[in-house]
A and B are shown apart, each in its own frame.
Chain A
Amino acid sequence: MIHLAGPIVLAAALAGAGVYGVLARRNAVLVLVGAELLLNAAGLLAITANALPAGGLAGLSSGAGASAGDPLLPGQVLTIMLITIAAAEIGVALAVVLLVFRRRGTSDLSAVRELGEASPTYTDEVPDLGLPAGRPRA
């Protein structure tokens, strides 16, 4: 049985790298990688918390007893769900990134900001998407 401080430090390092990736990177793929790191940090922390003794981190340093031992293992259950959600999310997000790259020839996030009202390239005009016209309003 390893000491529980290790996974906690690892989770903190992963989260820090993830935040850096999300905030500082311009490339959409690397931003996604940062998001994945954040998710995994959260999962690791959840599993670790499940194994913490009563009293949490404070109880850990005083060396009191073993884990509270919740038979439902909520940390593990939550992490499995997290992996599933992360898989779905990365699938959708990569598809969007792929489409953006095919259209614009770049995956730089600072080059695709038309949807922000305050962006310099924002426009009110609705592009003609060739959809069937709705019923005219009375």
Chain B
Amino acid sequence: MIAIAAIWTVFLPAVFAAIGIVLSGRSSAWAAGWAQLGALAALAAAVIELSLVLTRGPVHGLAFLGHADLGSTTISLSLRADALSAMVAVAVGLVATCVQFYSTAYLEPEQPDRYPAYAAAVSLFTAAMMLVIHADDLLLLLVGWEVMGICSYLLVGHHSERPSARAAAVKAFLVTRVGDLGVLVAIVVLLAGAGTTSITQLTERAAGQGPPIPGATLTAAAVLLLAGVAGKSAQFPLHTWLPDAMEGPTPVSALIHAATMVAAGVFLVARLLPLFLAAHGALTVAAVIASITMIGAALAAFAQDDLKRLLAWSTISQVAYMLGGVAVARSVNGAGPGVFHLLSHAAFKALLFLVAGCVSHVIGSTRLLDMGGLRRTHRGLMALFALGLAALAGIPPLGGFWSKEAVLSAAESAAREGAGWPAWLVLGSGLLTTLVTGVYAARAYALVALAPVPGPPKPGVFDVAVGAPHLPPVTAPAALAVRAEPADEPVHDPWLPFAMVWPLWVLAVPTVLLGLVLLRPPAALAGVHVDPLTGFTGTILSLAGVGWALSAPRLGARDIADVLPVGLRAFLREGYRLDAVQQALVVTPYRALARWVGVGDRDVVDAYVRGTSVAARWGGLVLRRAQGGLATGYVAWLVLGVVLVGVAGVVLA
């Protein structure tokens, strides 16, 4: 029964995606229907799986695709269903369902002929993530991992008529591929050093049951896997693709950021935690990466001028929290806080992105400078926005508070128990990030909901806001207005379709109530606890940040980020100019290399091919002199040939 549920979570979205795209033809309504059915079926299967796993315990080694005989070793392509995979599967199914329904209203009316491919890609994305979280073999996991990569390429580049969308899609594909290479090499290392890629066997052996794995193999594999984690989960220094991926449609951002793709990296660490614990130094590396990323991304989020990019940077920062929560684990069951934050983040980040989609639907832009006054016109929407942002900032009693403080408490207890400086680093960085998170979350709310409507109110749209005291907007320096074209399509319609509203309320439920899980935590979350002192400190810091950001009007600024010096703000907004560094260190040398390879191919390899034609031409020019037109001359050649053959026959005989 568990087996069927687990396999269905993987199969159903994929099968329905195929049915949808084959049967729909050009009718987008059919495609949308099939895709929604697939997502709902996956959600139902995941819920069944979760309830079965919680009552009957986990199952390993579910027969899925049989065995792959590689000659030297046999790889069993099987699945596993445990509390970790079941919980994440429910989150994936929920977010995928919301996104599928939301997209029908958000995207489908605009380009109906493209919608079948879009819906199928989202379904395939869901199926790939389900495969990643259920795989019991690293090779099978890698398959899902790579399918997610190609789906992200397709979805980020959905608006392929825009050059920026194409560039972002290629960037997302290539940057994550750098990390994927690490996973691939790690699999080879594990096959060579440990002789198996089965996750069950690897974790058991790393935890001390069965023949031990050589230390060098463990360390090499864990560090290589971390490269893959950094790529997929957008951690420093491979995070640069995520803000650019905002070129994709907003529901896709919700899917990528909330439940799939970026969560996959953290999930991999949680899944292979015994391996990382046994590998000397790997978790230290993870802790350092997470600490740098969480504070750096939070500061970058603070300086963004675009709502979606702000949310993207906050995703990077929050995923770093998860990674930090896993990195301070002290035992094989220690992944709880990180996974718990993954679940709560899935809920509130999906909510935030879908709200951002609604906002851009209403405003016709995603630039924060174009927003304002939505609290008067869209009260319910802004209430949900405030809920999501409060969960992001970690305000009690929302789900985000419990999960974030659980991460910080885990870091604190690890530090107290002598885990050394990595735990202190995660704790300090986490507390500082809490403050910055409060600031940028409140700044987003202030700019979208509270700020005065910018510019002259457009007739018929902001009628309600006309009566408001119209303060002259503090215009930002011209240098800040970098985005010439809006990141999203200008729909500009104050009326929100029902299909875009109800998924928000569905997602708001776990956003608010996820903390209740801690009353009776399942075994996988047993390590989760919230230390009162840490929780209090985090809340104070967060509230301080929120208060400071909301006090912007009293400080005489429309935007609290205006307090930053212009140069520093531009530096933060452009993500520390790491793109330029990447350009200089990787892209430019690589292009130069490609040019040289091209030259070598053209002037060296092809030279031989062209040389044969030149030689044949010159040979022809020489040999045609023999065509003298005198018949006896030809016969002389013939006789010469016969004599030569005869002599050769006699000599060789």
Task: Name the distance in Å between B607's Cβ and chain A's nearest Cβ.
Answer: 30
The residues in A between 22 and 69 inclusive whose CB is less than 8 angstroms from any CB of B are 22-26, 31
* B636 CB–A CB distance under 8 Å: yes
User: Majority SS of interface residues in chain B?
Assistant: helix
- Asked whether B635 lies within 8 Å of A109 as measured between CB atoms, the reply is no
* A110 CB–B CB distance under 8 Å: yes
- Asked whether B629 lies within 8 Å of A119 as measured between CB atoms, the reply is yes
Chain B residues with Cβ under 8 A from A26's Cβ? Answer: 632
CA distance A114 to B627 in the complex (A): 10
Task: Name the distance in Å between B641's Cβ and chain A's nearest Cβ.
Answer: 13
Q: Which residue, B625, B629, B631, B636, has most C-beta atoms of chain A within 10 A? A: B629
CA distance A122 to B625 in the complex (A): 12
- Asked whether A31 lies within 8 Å of B628 as measured between CB atoms, the reply is no
* A116 CB–B CB distance under 8 Å: yes
Task: Name the distance in Å between B613's Cβ and chain A's nearest Cβ.
Answer: 20
* B592 CB–A CB distance under 8 Å: no
Q: Nearest residue in B to A115 (C-beta to C-beta)?
A: B629
CA distance A112 to B635 in the complex (A): 16
User: Majority SS of interface residues in chain A?
Assistant: loop
CA distance A79 to B81 in the complex (A): 88
* A118 CB–B CB distance under 8 Å: yes
- Asked whether B635 lies within 8 Å of A22 as measured between CB atoms, the reply is yes
Chain B residues with Cβ under 8 A from A31's Cβ? Answer: 631-632
The residues in A between 89 and 122 inclusive whose CB is less than 8 angstroms from any CB of B are 109-110, 112-119, 121-122
* A12 CB–B CB distance under 8 Å: no
CA distance A104 to B639 in the complex (A): 29
Task: Name the distance in Å between B445's Cβ and chain A's nearest Cβ.
Answer: 71
- Asked whether A118 lies within 8 Å of B624 as measured between CB atoms, the reply is yes
* A19 CB–B CB distance under 8 Å: yes
A19-B639, A23-B639 known; A119 and B632 CB under 8 Å? no
* Contact count A vs B, C-beta below 8 Å: 42
Chain A residues with Cβ under 8 A from B624's Cβ? Answer: 117-118
* B626 CB–A CB distance under 8 Å: yes
CA distance A76 to B426 in the complex (A): 104
- Asked whether A117 lies within 8 Å of B639 as measured between CB atoms, the reply is no
CA distance A5 to B563 in the complex (A): 120
CA distance A110 to B633 in the complex (A): 10
* B585 CB–A CB distance under 8 Å: no
- Asked whether A119 lies within 8 Å of B636 as measured between CB atoms, the reply is no
Q: Among A24, A25, A109, which residue has its beta carbon within 8 angstroms of that of B630?
A: A109
- Asked whether A122 lies within 8 Å of B629 as measured between CB atoms, the reply is yes
Task: Name the distance in Å between B650's Cβ and chain A's nearest Cβ.
Answer: 12
Chain B residues with Cβ under 8 A from A22's Cβ? Answer: 632, 635, 639
- Asked whether A23 lies within 8 Å of B628 as measured between CB atoms, the reply is no
CA distance A116 to B637 in the complex (A): 15
CA distance A115 to B639 in the complex (A): 21
- Asked whether A110 lies within 8 Å of B627 as measured between CB atoms, the reply is no
Q: Among B630, B635, B636, B639, which residue has its beta carbon within 8 angstroms of that of A110?
A: B630
CA distance A108 to B636 in the complex (A): 17
- Asked whether B628 lies within 8 Å of A116 as measured between CB atoms, the reply is yes
Q: Nearest residue in A to B624 (C-beta to C-beta)?
A: A117
Q: Among B628, B635, B639, which residue has its beta carbon within 8 angstroms of that of A119?
A: B628
Q: Nearest residue in B to A116 (C-beta to C-beta)?
A: B629
- Asked whether A109 lies within 8 Å of B628 as measured between CB atoms, the reply is no
- Asked whether A109 lies within 8 Å of B631 as measured between CB atoms, the reply is yes
A19-B639, A23-B639 known; A114 and B629 CB under 8 Å? yes
Interface string of B603-644 (1 = CB under 8 A from A): 000000000000000000000111111111001100100000
Chain B residues with Cβ under 8 A from A109's Cβ? Answer: 630-632
Q: Among B625, B629, B635, which residue has its beta carbon within 8 angstroms of that of A23?
A: B635
- Asked whether A113 lies within 8 Å of B628 as measured between CB atoms, the reply is yes
Chain B residues with Cβ under 8 A from A19's Cβ? Answer: 639
The residues in B between 406 and 446 inclusive whose CB is less than 8 angstroms from any CB of A are none
Chain B residues with Cβ under 8 A from A116's Cβ? Answer: 627-630
Task: Name the distance in Å between A20's Cβ and chain B's nearest Cβ.
Answer: 11
Task: Name the distance in Å between A44's Cβ and chain B's nearest Cβ.
Answer: 17
Task: Name the distance in Å between A24's Cβ and chain B's nearest Cβ.
Answer: 8
Interface string of A2-28 (1 = CB under 8 A from B): 000000000000000001001111100
Chain B residues with Cβ under 8 A from A121's Cβ? Answer: 629
Chain B residues with Cβ under 8 A from A24's Cβ? Answer: 632
Chain A residues with Cβ under 8 A from B626's Cβ? Answer: 118
CA distance A58 to B630 in the complex (A): 41
Chain A residues with Cβ under 8 A from B636's Cβ? Answer: 23
- Asked whether A118 lies within 8 Å of B628 as measured between CB atoms, the reply is yes
- Asked whether A23 lies within 8 Å of B627 as measured between CB atoms, the reply is no
CA distance A90 to B632 in the complex (A): 17
- Asked whether A119 lies within 8 Å of B631 as measured between CB atoms, the reply is no
Q: Nearest residue in A to B634 (C-beta to C-beta)?
A: A116
The interface of chain B, by Cβ under 8 A from chain A, is: 624-632, 635-636, 639
- 5 shortest interchain CB distances as A-B pairs: A116-B629, A113-B629, A119-B629, A117-B627, A116-B627
Q: What are 10 residue pairs bridging A and B, where the CB atoms are less than 8 Å apart in the complex?
A: A19-B639, A25-B632, A31-B631, A110-B630, A112-B629, A113-B628, A116-B627, A116-B629, A118-B625, A121-B629
If A109-B632, A113-B628, A118-B628 are given as contacts, then 12 extra A-B residue pairs at C-beta distance below 8 Å, sorted by A number, are A22-B639, A23-B636, A26-B632, A110-B630, A113-B629, A116-B627, A116-B628, A117-B624, A117-B627, A118-B624, A118-B627, A119-B627
